[in-house]
Every structure is written in C-alpha cells, then in structure tokens.
Amino acid sequence: MTTRGKTPQKEDHAWILDYLPYGSSDDKRPSYQKKPLVQAVGENHFVLMELVPKEGKTPDIQSRVYIGDGDRDLIDHVKHRIAYKDLSHGAQLELPFILENVVKDQEERFVKFFNEAPPISTRMHMLELLPGIGKKLMWAIIEERKKKPLTTLKELHERVGGIHSPEKAIISRIIEELKDENIKYRLFTIPSRRTRTH
C-alpha cells in the first residue's frame, strides 16, 4: 500500500489514453501557439500525466510508450502530472480498458496483493478496500491463501466463488483512488501533487 509522503518512483512506461492535437483545453493561448499533447497513465503507480510527443509523431491510443531516461521513440518529455478531472472525456473512457491490459500484464503483482494484504486495523482489512469484498469474502480469501498461496486471478475466482472478477475489483479500486485526491488508503496509486507549467 502506498502511504502519504512516500517519494514516488519514476514511471518508465506509460499507456496512451488520448492524443490532443491542439493541446490542453484549459490552455488559453491561440491555437497556432499550442502544441500537441498526449494524456497517459503510468503502468506501475498509475500516475496520470500529460506528455509532449516528438515533432511529427502521433502515438496511438492504447499503445505503450517509453518515458524513462535515455532515448525515447515517440515522447519528447513529460510535461506534468495531472488529476483525474483533467483527463479528456475520451481519456476517461479509455482508462478502464488500459487498466485491464496492465492488470493482465502484471497479474503476478496483483495475485501477490491478494496473498499478502494485511489488516489495516483491528476492525478493517486491506482486502475490504476492494469494491465488492466484505467481511465474508475477506475471510474466505484469507482461509484459502493459508491453505496454499494463490497463483492466478482465475484461481482466486475458482477457489473463492464469491469473487466473480478480481480484475474488475482491482480496476474499480484504482479508478476510485485516481478520482479521489484525498482518499485515506491507497493500495495501488500515489497522490497527484500537480504542478502547472504554462
């Protein structure tokens, strides 16, 4: 779980949510002065950001791009982090599909969460922060993982029948954390701490 005040690790890769040929809608400069922007989500901490593509390059929506140090093919630089409310309508619609790709690609990471999630307090368990998981399902998961660690999300669904789609629960939680800047507990994201550059 990500805690407040923790120094965020940099994202090396991001997924493209939307391409804005005339830049951000809140940039009040004339169109001819605006440069194209890309809205994207990082694949490790789900950082929402605006990127500046290289001259003449148009990254495809739903594509994965390198934004780390060193040579980048499509992205010139990361402009700044943004909040969920700054995403275009198109980017907000794309986000669940992109997150589904990331959860599938990093299944081991999310299975580990189900295997290792601890209690938060005497009354609340970290597993209960996932939408659709109450006390009954939480105890069922804990009992199953005690018998034998879970190896896939499909196996979690098979062994704990009440969890119909672990992927959807994870995606819903990530989006909830991205939407609420002041959410108390963060399982998968880090706060946005926005900085404007224009």
Contacts of 42 (CB under 8 A, 6+ apart): 11, 13, 14, 48, 49, 67
Give backbone dihedrals phi and psi of 25, rounded to 5 degrees, phi first.
Answer: -70, -20
Burial class (CB in 10 A: 0-12, 13-18, 19+), 177: buried
- Whether the per-residue pLDDT at 83 is higher than 70: the answer is yes
Give the tokens for residue 185.
């507990």
Give me the pLDDT at residue 126, please. Answer: 97
The separation between the first and the last C-alpha atoms of the chain, rounded to the nearest angstrom, is: 33
Model confidence at 22, pLDDT cuts 50, 70, 90, reads: confident
Mean pLDDT value of segment 11-36 = 83
* pLDDT (0 to 100) of residue 161: 83
pLDDT tens per residue across span 87-144: 999 999 999 999 999 999 999 999 999 999 999 999 999 999 999 999 999 999 999 9
Kindly calculate the radius of gyration of the chain based on its CA atoms and give it in whole angstroms.
19
CB of 39 closer than 8 Å to CB of 82: yes
> pTM above 0.85?
yes
Secondary structure (DSSP) of 124-174: -BGGGGSTT--HHHHHHHHHHHHHS----HHHHHHHSTT-S-HHHHHHHHH
Phi and psi for 114 in degrees, rounded to 5? -65, -35
CATH of domain 13-87: 2.40.50.140
- Domain residue spans in the chain? 13-87
Confidence of residue 198 (pLDDT cuts 50, 70, 90): very low
Residue 150 pLDDT: 96
Q: Angle formed by the axes of helices 166-179 and 107-116, to 10°? A: 90
pLDDT digits (tens, 9 = 90+) for 138-195: 999 999 999 999 999 999 999 998 888 999 999 999 999 999 999 999 999 988 764 4
Burial of residue 130 (CB within 10 Å: 0-12, 13-18, 19+) is buried
